[in-house]
Amino acid sequence: MTHTSIKEALDWRYATKRYDATKKISEKDWEVLKDSLQLAPSSYGIQPWKFLVIENPALREKLKTVSWNQTQVTDASHYVVFLYKEEMDEAYIQKYIDRIAEVRSIPPASLDGYKSMMIENLAKAPDEKIRVWSQRQAYIAMGFLLETAAMLKIDATPMEGFDPAAYDEILGLQGTGWKSVATVALGYRHPEDSFQNLKKVRFAEDSIIQYVK
């Protein structure tokens, strides 16, 4: 991509309010969108997230009723619910260490220092701190997905307008250690979605980007 085409894609994207329910994202495009989730960075690389792709139409209808009846939930081609991990225990840290060792073909024991550091900073941290931290990581993945969608000229909507406790219940998340925090609808804008014609509202660049010399 060129500088111009990246800028164009960023201007082109908008939080889509109304989707064309007849248009579906191709397999090929979905592959790349999935990659953007899997390849997103996270603190320590520990990936305290999961992404539920809700395919069942009846389930989407149900979720819509606890999402301020926002039509994106049912009409978008894909609907992704972002989950964060509530607690960071030694078992999860070990699982991550084992994965590094497997992928990089190194002995797990060579990662003992890294493991101790994560246990100290994460497993021993107060639960509330971990919850906030985990949610932040999930939002990084969300940003990657939104940006990738824009580059592919696929419409997207980041969404927090839903009842997370109701989602957790509908999706059977109680007792799993995972909770919903945000969602992203993806697909193709309806030609009559008037929001696509609105000018973007952003504070002036010099008021938000400051060079410290």
Ligand X SMILES: Cc1cc2nc3c(=O)[nH]c(=O)nc-3n(C[C@H](O)[C@H](O)[C@H](O)COP(=O)(O)O)c2cc1C
Which residue, 8 or 89, has its beta carbon nearer to ligand X? 8
State the distance between the two ends of the chain, measured CA to CA, in whole angstroms: 31
Which residue, 47 or 157, has its beta carbon nearer to ligand X? 157
Which residue, 3 or 202, has its beta carbon nearer to ligand X? 202
The C-alpha atoms of residue 104 and residue 1 are separated, in whole angstroms, by 31
* Nearest approach, Cβ of residue 61 and ligand X (Å): 17
* Nearest approach, Cβ of residue 127 and ligand X (Å): 23
Classify burial at 138, counting beta carbons within 10 Å of its beta carbon; exposed 0-12, middle 13-18, buried 19 or more.
Answer: buried
Give the residue closest to ligand X by C-beta. Answer: 161
Q: Residue 101 CB: number of other CB atoms within 10 A? A: 15
Question: Does residue 56 sit in helix, strand or coil?
Answer: coil
* Nearest approach, Cβ of residue 199 and ligand X (Å): 10
Q: How many CA atoms lie within 13 A of 54 on its CB side?
A: 26
* Nearest approach, Cβ of residue 50 and ligand X (Å): 18
The C-alpha atoms of residue 129 and residue 120 are separated, in whole angstroms, by 13
The C-alpha atoms of residue 128 and residue 175 are separated, in whole angstroms, by 17
Which residue, 174 or 195, has its beta carbon nearer to ligand X? 195
* Nearest approach, Cβ of residue 3 and ligand X (Å): 20
**Chain positions contacting ligand X, by CB under 6 A:** 14-15, 17, 70, 157-161, 182, 200
Cα angle vertex 101, ends 97, 104, to 5°? 130
Which residue, 87 or 163, has its beta carbon nearer to ligand X? 163
**201: amino acid identity, one letter:** V
